[in-house]
Amino acid sequence: MILACLSGIGIMSNYIRLQRSQVGQCTIKAKQLHQGYAGTGMSPSYDIVETYRPDFQFLVQTADGHHSQAQGYDAFGEAFTDFSSEQAIIDRYTVGETYLCWYDPSNPTWAVLTRKFSSTMSFDLVLIVLILLFGGILVIGGISGMCYGIWLRLRR
């Protein structure tokens, strides 16, 4: 549960950072498709699958003309199992060319080439908001109940 909360905080933090990002110009310096592995399913039918994630090294030019080195592609660093679609992302960018990107004005080394995120991430964000909302309601309800109990005791 604690790990899920920490993960949720990280997702929400990147989502908020993405919403306040500014448009810049990014020149691609290098690109590669990272291969990894992830587990799917629940025990006992737990499978290991290959995953792929585009990764770019680029030079960010901020709105005020400063330059910073950055690395990545999207705000969440998601990896997927479809090699062709991830390779197609790599193929869309040419080393040495400049593209629009989005960067954190307080830390331009955090930049992304896309603001899109997957439907899985959208679902995760909605789920996190609902959990936080429900948890908040429970906490407020619990505090209200305690205050009401104290108030009843003091009235006697």
Please say whether the beta carbons of 111 and 101 come within 8 A.
Answer: yes
Flag whether the pTM goes above 0.75: no
Read off the pLDDT of residues 46-101 as tens digits, 9 standing for 90 and up: 788 999 999 999 999 999 999 999 999 998 888 888 999 999 999 999 999 999 99
| pLDDT above 60 for 5 | no
Annotated domain spans of the chain: 22-117
Amino acid at position 23, single letter: V
Quick one: pLDDT at residue 92? 97
| pLDDT above 80 for 130 | no
Highest mean pLDDT among 5-9, 80-84, 151-155: 80-84
Please say whether the beta carbons of 61 and 24 come within 8 A.
Answer: yes
Cα separation of 22 and 108, whole Å?
A: 9
Read off the pLDDT of residues 19-50 as tens digits, 9 standing for 90 and up: 889 999 999 999 999 999 987 766 666 788 99
